[in-house]
Amino acid sequence: MSEPKKLFIKTYGCQMNVYDSERMAEAMGGSGYVETDSADDADMILLNTCHIREKAAEKVYSELGRFRALKDEKPDLKIGVAGCVAQAEGEEIMRRQPLVDLVVGPQSYHRLPEMEAKARQGEKALDIDFPEEDKFEKLKNRPKARRAPAAFLTVQEGCDKFCAFCVVPYTRGAEVSRPVERVLGEARDLVERGVREITLLGQNVNAYHGHGPDGAWSLARLIWALNDIDGLERIRFTTSHPNDMDDDLIAAHGECKKLMPYLHLPVQSGSDRILKRMNRSHTAESYLKLIERIRAARPDILISGDFIVGFPEETEEDFQATMDLIRAVEYGQAFSFKYSTRPGTPAAERAQVDDAEASDRLQRLQALITEQQRAVQDSMVGREVSVLFEKPGRLPGQMVGKSDYLHAVHVAGAAEAGVKVGDIARVRIVESGANSLAGTLV
Ligand code: SAH
Ligand code: SF4
Ligand code: F3S
């Protein structure tokens, strides 16, 4: 038998890209490829790109330029661009960078094997359509390999919300939910392969309304059905939109045992004026009320968020409203960004905030968030949590896993005590470090 060909995938951006990269690797497995973690010995290189940050496309071009020497050495090497930059600038990439053999948008990954075959014939292959069929269904025939204990499962893609700053509705297209049976089938398959925790993914995952046996199912209903799968122990979902947190989903946080006490609920700003200009359709007050209801259902839930500072026309007063909101919520985790213009989005045309001012606000906001994050993490000391062990630690006998609240937890001597990857154990937290907790088995 001939040597398998090697595929190197570099993944940028959100968890959805991580999930897509796994699916692409599995699809290419059918064409005789195995994954490698080095570009140097690859027969095919795929960049799975993200378009959310400033100069995203420029970074892709400079990354591609670095493969020139490799391709000179190995003319058979195929280079592909996937993901959201591919979707946004596919034709331009083909024109500008002759090293690229194929460009595939996020909705066309099931066509990757035929595109690779075409590229092997020396032709260029471009596919950035939004086809009707379920790309994941087409990618299904994958090897039944063991999987890491925590996995992502995409249930919903795309977005109809059109926040004024965001490219996702343009790169991922309109909101689409995968049918219930497909999601449950994939979840059962993951569990058979050793998965114990599933994170449901979607750009607006709580807008899920997949087709079920008796009409459209909400995310809460889907979670309850997953809750019945034996062997699946933990359920998470991300990313949610405040407007799509319905009563059933809030209740599930209090009642569904397998649903973890962690919720990523981006607010972006605490100023109603800015929220309106962002086209967010919630207010600071409605967000705070929502958090209150969620905490009433599940008092220990860890809240995480996303923030944008320096959105066009944001004043110091607007920024202070965001700081007030953060103080009111007390976040356990947050991602914050300086606004950057995305061409083609409405906000790109508006008066921009002075860059130095925006950087200063970002620094102040991040200092506050760090303080809160730290306080929440420190409050875990002395408590008992459950940990899903994901890998051995750096020290002998040590194992590392994630708590219910998604904190990384190091446990010394766990391996000696018989703990294996994939086990869930009760752990008492004894110390709060820079980015993780330390605990001992109970
Ligand atoms: N669908 C999710 C996340 C989308 S992108 C949601 O609605 O929350 C992830 C985060 O990137 C966003 O929450 C936002 O905080 C940030 N982001 C998106 N576009 C941006 C831009 N143009 N400038 C700065 N941050 C941006
Ligand atoms: Fe982007 Fe807004 Fe949609 Fe989130 S809800 S993906 S920020 S447009
Ligand atoms: Fe980036 Fe596309 Fe995800 S733009 S954040 S990779 S949806």
Supply the CATH number for residue 343's domain.
3.80.30.20
Closest by CA to 70, choosing from 45, 102, 37, 34, is 45
Q: Report the separation in Å between the CA atom of 121 and the middle of ligand 3, taken as the mean of its atom positions.
A: 31
Six-digit token string for 246: 């319905």
Place of tokens 């995305």: 342
Are residues 178 and 85 located together in one domain of the fold?
A: no
At residue 141 the predicted structure's pLDDT band, cuts being 50, 70 and 90, is low
Does 239 sit behind a cis peptide bond, omega within 30 degrees of 0 on the bond before it? yes
* Tens-place pLDDT, residues 292-314: 999 999 999 999 999 999 999 99
Are residues 171 and 226 located together in one domain of the fold?
A: yes
Determine contact, residues 387/403, Cβ cutoff 8 Å: yes
Are residues 44 and 169 located together in one domain of the fold?
A: no
Are residues 322 and 393 located together in one domain of the fold?
A: no
| Residue 295, CA distances (Å) to 81, 110, 234 in order | 43, 41, 19
**Residue 132 scores a pLDDT above 90:** no
Other beta carbons within 10 angstroms of residue 70's beta carbon come to 16
What is the best residue among 51, 54, 163, 166 to mutate for testing ligand 1's pocket, by most ligand atoms within 8 Å of CB? 166
Are residues 215 and 318 located together in one domain of the fold?
A: yes
Last residue of one domain, picked from the residues 379, 406, 427: 379
Are residues 186 and 93 located together in one domain of the fold?
A: no
The predicted model scores a pTM of: 0.93
Predicted local distance difference test score (pLDDT) of residue 365: 98
Predicted local distance difference test score (pLDDT) of residue 369: 98
Are residues 369 and 221 located together in one domain of the fold?
A: yes
Q: Does 159 belong to an annotated binding site?
A: yes
Last residue of one domain, picked from the residues 127, 161, 184: 127
- Domain of 331 in residue numbering reads as 136-379
Q: How many residues does the chain have?
A: 442
CB 165 near ligand 1, within 6 Å: yes
**Residue 226 scores a pLDDT above 70:** yes
Residues whose beta carbon lies within 6 Å of some atom of ligand 2: 159, 161-163, 166, 168-169, 203-204, 241
Q: Look up the CATH number of the domain holding residue 389.
A: 2.40.50.140
Are residues 302 and 201 located together in one domain of the fold?
A: yes
Other beta carbons within 10 angstroms of residue 63's beta carbon come to 16
At residue 3 the predicted structure's pLDDT band, cuts being 50, 70 and 90, is confident
Mean pLDDT of 210-235: 97
**Residue 1 scores a pLDDT above 70:** no
- Separation of alpha carbons 133 and 162, rounded Å: 24
Predicted local distance difference test score (pLDDT) of residue 143: 59
When mean pLDDT is compared across 56-60, 364-368, 401-405, the lowest value belongs to 56-60
Mean pLDDT of 22-33: 91
Last residue of one domain, picked from the residues 329, 364, 379: 379
Determine contact, residues 83/47, Cβ cutoff 8 Å: yes
Q: Does 256 belong to an annotated binding site?
A: no
Are residues 22 and 116 located together in one domain of the fold?
A: yes
Atom 2 in ligand 2: which residue has the minimum CA distance?
A: 163
- Separation of alpha carbons 335 and 306, rounded Å: 5
Mean pLDDT of 67-88: 94
Atom 4 in ligand 1: which residue has the minimum CA distance?
A: 203
Tell me the three state secondary structure of residue 428. Answer: strand
Q: What domain count does the chain have?
A: 3
Are residues 97 and 147 located together in one domain of the fold?
A: no
Phi and psi of 245, rounded to 5°?
A: -80, 95
Are residues 313 and 418 located together in one domain of the fold?
A: no
Six-digit token string for 60: 């892709």
Are residues 278 and 308 located together in one domain of the fold?
A: yes
